[in-house]
Amino acid sequence: MQKLLIANRGEIARRVIRTAHRMGIATVAVHSDVDATSPFVREAGQAVALGPAAARPYLDGDAIIAAARRTGADAIHPGYGFLSENADFAAAVLKAGLVWVGPPPAAMRVMALKDSAKAAMKKAGVPITPGYQGTDQSLVRLQRAAEGVGFPLLIKAVAGGGGKGMRAVHAADEFQDALMAAQREGQASFGNSVVMLEKLIQRPRHVEVQVFGDAHGNVVHLFERDCSLQRRHQKVIEEAPAPGLSDRLRHTLGIAAATAATAIAYQGAGTVEFILDLDTVDAEGDPAFYFMEMNTRLQVEHPVTECITGQDLVEWQIRVARGEMLPLSQEALTITGHAVEARLYAEDPDSGFLPATGTLSRLAFGTGEGVRIDTGVETGSRIGLDYDPMIAKVIAWGPTRAAAIDRLVGALDGTIVEGLKSNRAFLARLANIDAFRAGEVDTGFIGRHAEALAPPEAVPDEVLLLAGLWQALTAEAAATAGPFARPFRLNLPTEFTSRFWVGGALRSFTLRPVAGRFRVAGLDGIGEVGASAHGSSGVTADIGGRSLIGHVVASETGLEVRHAGQSYRLALRAPRAGAVAGLGDGRIIAPMPGRVLAVDVTPGQAVAEGDRLLVLEAMKMEHRLVARAGGTVSAVHIAAGDQVADGMLLVEIG
């Protein structure tokens, strides 16, 4: 393998390019028009333009193979997503005489559909979830099967992934509507409306095992990852190893995953996903587990496995594709420490986590020991609706789980995203919540802890102190910098006064520099502190031997203080008279372009906070728009089937 074409984009392409260059392999990037100035295009040795994003060029297998031939590439790496699990594309690459950095097409076909995958696993002796995977897709047959499975149950598109085409059904009278929604989403996302039914595990954990196989018949697993922290079936935080598993269960899961890979003569990187049923445990206290699906590619969350094993999984992929044996045997693989990954997205947590668009006017990441950032964007990059709105993966390793979480929270606190909304603050709160730190994870975790995950209302005095210290240290740094600065702090003020408005109330206090420390007046219980700055936003306060670490991000109107995973906004000016925080004007606007699937209200109808107003289909997902406050619907400007533009007025509530 001399030259590798990466049939992907963003952080995925950058990840593959990084390893290929380290191994002395030349690289070729392919890109759509909107990606022409992206970092991955610059970093590749060569780049080939594929055309407009609207034409979906990353799914054009013929164009990608032609680009490989034109540039002299002798291998193609599909990354993850797009064509990475497309067996026909893999076969076409091999037919073209190119090296395919992925599993054999035959193995991919077995696992491509959830129903055929479960049939293969059942034959291999791997436990599967009770349910229906039949070919008869008539409404009558599916309803009869649903009654046989029992409620609650889960409807899944057999070609689905990422939560698309998936619906939970808790009662028989909900089944038909949920079925139609899952079929619509499966058809829109994957061109396949076939579904399967499964028993709904009430308290599930999502645990997956990284496997690798080679052409010499060797198969190993590289331990497991826990991906239970999910929202709408989308993974939010992943970690390795999974917390709280017994050695016995960890070993059993690894053997089951390796058995699954062996059964289909698997080669390359793959992930076998299991559901653990926390309500069904054996005599040893270990939960029952069931095969869910196998992803025949590298996973988004593979960095946490790399962190705990010390292995480069992309290098393993390349070596296997070159016909080499696996670099290590099962006995040589060990776990060192713990790793946690958070997916930083351009999305608005205050509006149901709808995707956000815009230009990143500023992007900077928190750093520190054990912190790794995988990103495909930079300051100045635009995030639109053409592709997944991920900004970065923030990964932290530590010698213990607690240390890894501490480092992740610190990195998130120190991350700055400006120009569009992101889930940064939500991730920091989620990673630092006591229940997560205790390892009490399952797929219902986020919904169950919604109240604890809401932004804080009260602002502790310690947060005010961090903000004031940051102001004082910033002023000191400015006064002592440059050619006209005076030595020995002679030009500094003898006292700093900080004034912040919190919830409409003015809070003020003073900081007096004394012998390298600050004497505090105006904050209860805080007398004298030491302080130091780190970077442009970091500040540490020493209060009686106890350290407070924070990050302060300034804007024209105020400061955002991040501390211990929480974010607090402090205004620098008094609020306008009559302003009421948190209330909208009753105008519901489209958060993105899309198509209206359903309208649930009519003019004159009374609604309460949280009531569903309409369903919008955008980015191949259905989004519920709800009332932000109670009132009466005064106008409805759209109907089912309408196409709407970003920012269009949809519903008015008086």
d(CA 193, CA 214): 34
Give the pair of three-digit tokens for residue 80.
């993850």
- CA distances, 101 to each of 78, 85, 268, 316, 334 (Å): 7, 12, 8, 10, 25
Cα Rg of the chain (Å, integer): 27
- CA nearest neighbour of 541 among 463, 459, 428, 460: 463
3-state secondary structure 200-232: CCCCEEEEEEEEEECCCCCEEEEEEEEEEEEEC
Which of helix, strand or coil describes residue 200? Answer: coil
Give the pair of three-digit tokens for residue 92.
């076409």
Q: Which residues does 206 contact at the CB level (< 8 Å), separation at least 6?
A: 226, 227, 228, 230, 235, 273, 274, 275, 276, 292, 443
Which of helix, strand or coil describes residue 213? Answer: strand
Which of helix, strand or coil describes residue 177? Answer: helix
Q: Is 127 buried (19+), middle (13-18) or exposed (0-12) by CB count in 10 A? A: middle
Which of helix, strand or coil describes residue 230? Answer: strand
Give the pair of three-digit tokens for residue 60.
């054009």
Helix segments in 26-174, DSSP class H = 39-43, 61-71, 87-95, 105-112, 114-124, 139-149
d(CA 134, CA 137): 7
Which of helix, strand or coil describes residue 84? Answer: coil
- CA nearest neighbour of 348 among 411, 424, 414: 424
For the chain, the residue count is 654
Q: Is 487 buried (19+), middle (13-18) or exposed (0-12) by CB count in 10 A? A: exposed
Give the pair of three-digit tokens for residue 471.
């102001």
- CA distances, 469 to each of 389, 497, 505, 536 (Å): 35, 10, 20, 13
Give the pair of three-digit tokens for residue 243.
């917390």
- CA distances, 430 to each of 80, 375, 389, 410 (Å): 26, 21, 20, 13
Report CA 460 to chain centroid distance, whole Å: 30
Indicate which residue of 297, 372, 407, 507 is catalytic.
297
Beta bridge mates, 548: 541
Beta strands at 26-32 and 46-51: parallel, antiparallel or unpaired: parallel
* Annotated catalytic residue 297: yes
Q: Give catalytic residues, as residue numbers.
A: 297
